[in-house]
């Protein structure tokens, strides 16, 4: 993980914050850390072998995340509070990098954040849902 401090973006990401949404997409797709001013919504690179809390993740989504993380294939994670809500899977021989966005919306805030992530994550990488391998 880089020692660079995360970029602080606006607290709310709405249509009046287009510039911050562009920055969020640029930072996420280039592996730069960012967070909102309350630190409840953030993205960060994950170094091979590094571990991360899984918050409210459970069931198949938790198993899938842990499998990718323990294999060193999770390159970047976007979290809402302490729960991963999107992550970039890479380093799979013969496969392109892809974003995984779990189907679970843990709260209204998290559901809104996930909705914004579809635009960002599909910009550069392919999308894979909960059945990604």
Instruction: Give the dihedral sign, CA 117/39/61/108.
Output: negative
Q: Is residue 1 part of a domain?
A: no
Euclidean distance between CA atoms 28 and 88, whole angstroms:
9
How many structural domains are present in the chain? 1
Give the model's pLDDT for residue 9.
Answer: 59
Give the model's pLDDT for residue 50.
Answer: 85
Count of residues making up the chain: 133
Q: Is residue 98 part of a domain?
A: yes
Q: Is residue 80 part of a domain?
A: yes
- Beta strands 34-36; 74-80: pairing state: unpaired
Q: Is residue 133 part of a domain?
A: no
Euclidean distance between CA atoms 122 and 118, whole angstroms:
6
Q: Is residue 42 part of a domain?
A: yes
22 three-state secondary structure: helix
Euclidean distance between CA atoms 128 and 98, whole angstroms:
6
Give the model's pLDDT for residue 10.
Answer: 53
CA-atom Rg of the chain in angstroms? 14
pTM: 0.75
Q: Is residue 38 part of a domain?
A: yes
Euclidean distance between CA atoms 107 and 103, whole angstroms:
12
pLDDT tens digits for range 76-89? 999 888 899 889 89
Q: Is residue 2 part of a domain?
A: no
Domain that holds residue 114: 7-128
Which residues of the chain, if any, have pLDDT below 70?
Answer: 1-21, 115-116, 118-133
Euclidean distance between CA atoms 50 and 46, whole angstroms:
6
Q: Is residue 49 part of a domain?
A: yes
């Amino acid at each position: 993980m880089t020692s660079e401090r995360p970029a602080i973006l606006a607290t709310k990401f709405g249509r009046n914050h287009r510039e911050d949404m562009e920055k969020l997409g640029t930072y996420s797709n280039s592996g730069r850390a960012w967070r909102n001013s309350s630190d409840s919504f953030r993205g960060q690179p994950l170094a091979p072998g590094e571990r991360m809390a899984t918050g409210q993740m459970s069931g198949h989504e938790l198993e899938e995340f842990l499998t990718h993380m323990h294999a060193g294939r999770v390159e970047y994670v976007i979290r809402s509070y302490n729960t991963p809500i999107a992550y970039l899977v890479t380093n799979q021989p013969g496969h392109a990098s892809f974003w995984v966005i779990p189907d679970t919306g843990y709260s209204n805030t998290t559901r809104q954040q996930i909705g914004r992530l579809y635009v960002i994550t599909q910009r550069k990488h392919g999308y894979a849902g909960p059945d990604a391998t």
